[in-house]
Structure 1
């Protein structure tokens, strides 16, 4: 066999039980990724009391965590290209779950910081692989919606963690450790691995057409058993098989522009959102709110997160993704600024709710938009590097926020965060490629009968 025709065969499949099972598995990994990513933010106010941790120490732990995320993102692309999307997804999920479990036993801020760096590397790596996996396994016309659906389910891990923390952390001097134990439950992802299939596009990109065809036949049989006879696929278009993409490929014109744009997107998203979510409980506590109230208020705001991902699912395939990102980013900037300008508990919850809702919608849109800017050869590398550089940028973000807070006060932090979001929105508006036309053409082609069938 010279070509397995993976793209056309996958794109013409109706959504079936196979796709929904895959969605549940990926969403489970996302759930505990989102659950784990905020565990330090929700326990930091308690550690300030117990261990005498300072705002600057919180900043250093948070900064180093994002260094770990950068490393994880870069390594994830290589693992996904070398060992496959499915195995990379499994390994990275087990990695962050294992190190979150070890964090339960940390004895000071240094040991906790080390465990958080290693956990964060796994969190970021898992995200990169999951984005690629969904992008390659779902039909082109539906992948944006299912990226968003995975986030809708997964993002529930954020309010779940915050609500659990709001009740567990204040109980006694050791109960904060249970928050990290909760985050480690991502290890149970191993229960789903038998239901997952390796990406046929990955096999095809390596020239392993027989393996790709075998997986495709299995998927097609499952879908046909659920949905009936399948339409014919368009004939394959022969492509030259390339060797493993080296890092320097991103300097080529066709990859450099989208990589640079996505670096801006993920830098502004990372600093803008994590500057808010990682600091909100600690800053509220420092401004006079009790630890219990600060964690509880933030927990209430994160209830908006699943709604934002659902909103993204409604708009992602119906409108141009770049303009959705621009609109969402602008709303986040406005609501985040208003959040920082009030100390009224009701308004804190309302504006925080809106920030979480639109930011999670923004992230779901960005997860769908990012892989579309690359072909199969450059997808893992371009997505991983741009996402990783975004995470690396927040090594500086917490230090900037701590300096702003210590020198010019609480409100200046939120002016900075709002400005960051606007930079991203403007960059997307001016330089962001449109991808909707290509998606519609791919969907139309997948529905059409082959001329020579």
Structure 2
């Protein structure tokens, strides 16, 4: 089956899968990041201060952490499509309910439960896309889909800049509810992952039908069992706990630590950077939202650059360099004049390296695990990042109460990026060591 998928030309079915997964990730990015951009407006609407949003951000991150650990294993058991449909339905419905929030506590609980479902969209959609795309284009297709995830972040910025003043903070939740339901019918056009079906049951009678949808000319008469090549050997240890076996243990630990720091930083800056700039940098939230839209260009270029370069240069050194530059850009945002040209350039570089670097980590996680644990591998690494996403925004809110200078906050925020760079270099060393150990000695 691996050869069947890898040898296929890129046709309209592969492009359609890419488009649908990209739309789903756009919606996921919108729902995940819009709250940070409207936090001051929500706080004012609920009769509080921006710092009162800390409990909302924290509950959202708790829900995202729970969802990242809970939902991807369900996708490895039930299938990618059913769990994606469940997630779209639930967090879309809860977004509608959030429109009528009357207190910070009510909104916090709604965002917490929503987080369980929208945090699972990224790993499951990436697993589906990677498993149904030929290897020679896999990294590129994943990068394009991740650009659309970042595009959801951009969409939330556009919504803040142009709709917030006229429609109020509720417009974000209305859009966050409508978009998932519009995407649901698109899942009917996507086949279930063939590698998932093969790993679960090589004699599944649905496999020939799925292959027939992909390639009507495929000749399957007499075929009663399908294999995934070398991945078949791993099925005896399938399931999430196989990530802690000898082959994947250190890789899993390093990816968890890297995601804890990298996604923690993303959560901190997504939730608090607009508020920091308004409260400490004297940059109005609407103006900063427009700057962030310019910064999105950097994120999109970083994602595409990472996907293109990972097939051509050492991916571990590449990702480490991205995060080191990311650290410099974050620190620069704390000392440059807000709204100036050089500030916007630093914002673009930060987005380029932060989003591109995280794309690299996601790609390492996606390609580093076999199909029977792929959703769990991506999701649980992301889950550790969501735990970081709980701790980091808490620290960010606490920093706001201490009235720390902007430069102090941004310099402290740059430190995790440096640590991530070191972790990725260690992961590269570990994978090279493992590959060398697997080389069989030649007989004398």
Length-normalised TM-score, structure 2: 0.87
Aligned equivalent of 1:418: 414
Cα distance in 2 for partners of 1:421, 1:145 equals 24
Counterparts of 1:96-245 in structure 2, within 5 Å, are 96-171=91-166, 175-184=168-177, 185-209=179-203, 210-221=205-216, 236=229, 239-240=232-233, 242=235, 245=238
Tell me: CA distance 1:423–1:113, structure 2 relative to 1, closer, same or farther (3 Å). same
User: How many Å apart are 1:237 and its aligned residue?
Assistant: 5.7
In structure 1, C-alpha distance between the alignment counterparts of 2:170 and 2:218, rounded to whole Å: 44
Q: Is the 8 A contact 2:80 2:128 kept in 1?
A: yes
Greater Cα shift, 100-109 or 137-146: 100-109
Please give the secondary structure, in 2, of the residue aligned with 1:318: coil
Question: CA–CA distance in 2 between the matches of 1:211 and 1:47?
Answer: 48
Aligned to 1:441: none
1:263 matches 2:259: no
Aligned residues: 423
What is the distance in 1 between the residues matched to 2:396 and 2:271?
A: 11
CA displacement 1:336-395 (0-9 Å, x = unmatched): 110122233123322112212222222322222112222233323222222111112221
**Alignment-derived partner of residue 368 in structure 2:** 373
1:28/1:186 contact within 8 Å kept: no
User: Does 426-435 or 368-377 show the bigger shift?
Assistant: 426-435
Q: What displacement does 1:30 show? A: 0.7
Please say which of residues 80-89 and 371-380 is displaced more in the overlay: 371-380
1:328 equivalenced with 2:319 (yes/no): no
Q: In structure 1, what is the Cα distance between the partners aligned to 2:231 and 2:165?
A: 62
Over 3 Å counting, the alpha-carbon distance change for 1:75 and 1:298 in structure 2 is same
Structure 2 residue 52 is the aligned partner of structure 1 residue 42: no
Match of 1:229 in 2: none
How far is 1:138 from its partner? 1.0
1:272-311 residue pairs with structure 2 within 5 A?
A: 272-287=265-280, 288-311=282-305
Contact persistence 2:139–2:308 (CA under 8 A): no
Q: Which runs of 5+ in 2 are unaligned?
A: 220-225, 435-444
CA distance in 2, matches of 1:304, 1:183: 24
- How far does residue 121 in structure 1 lie from its aligned partner after superposition? 1.8
Is 1:26 aligned to residue 21 of structure 2? yes
Q: Over residues 173-207 of structure 1, what are the superposed CA-to-partner deviations in whole Å (9 max), with x where a residue is unaligned?
A: x6211112222212211221222011111111112
Q: Which moved more, 1:207-216 or 1:335-344?
A: 207-216
Q: 1:434 to 1:156 in 2, by over 3 A?
A: farther
Tell me, what secondary structure is at the counterpart of 2:369?
coil
Matched-pair contact (CA < 8 Å) for 2:199–2:232: no
d(CA) in 2 for partners of 1:299, 1:52: 29
Q: Once structures 1 and 2 are overlaid, which stretch shifts more, 340-349 or 33-42?
A: 340-349
Distance in 2 between residues matched to 1:47 and 1:235, nearest whole Å: 50
- Greater shift in the superposed pair: 385-394 or 202-211: 202-211
Change (3 A) 1:373 1:271: same
Alpha-carbon distance in 2 for matches of 1:67, 1:352: 28
After superposition, give the CA deviation of every residue in 1:38-89 in whole Å (9 maximum; x if it has no partner): 2111111113333343344222221221111111111222221121012222
Structure 1, residues 272-315: CA drift from partner, whole Å, max 9, x if none?
A: 22222221111112123334334333343334332222222322
Which among 379, 384, 387 is matched to residue 379 of structure 2? 384
Cα drift, residue 433 of structure 1 = 5.8
Q: Sort the Cα spacing of 1:163 and 1:237 in 2 relative to 1 into closer, same or farther, 3 A.
A: closer
TM-score in terms of structure 1 length: 0.86
**2:439 aligns to what?**
none
Q: Which runs of 5+ in 1 are unaligned?
A: 1-5, 225-232, 439-453
**1:357/1:238 Cα in 2 relative to 1: closer, same or farther (>3 Å)?**
closer
Matches within 5 A, 1:9-88: 9-88=4-83
- The CA distance in 2 between the partners of 1:55 and 1:253, in whole Å, is 47
CA contact (8 A) 1:131 1:368 kept: no
After superposition, the Cα gap between the structure-2 partners of 1:121 and 1:234, relative to the gap in structure 1 and judged at 3 Å, is closer
Quote the offset at 1:251 in angstroms: 3.0
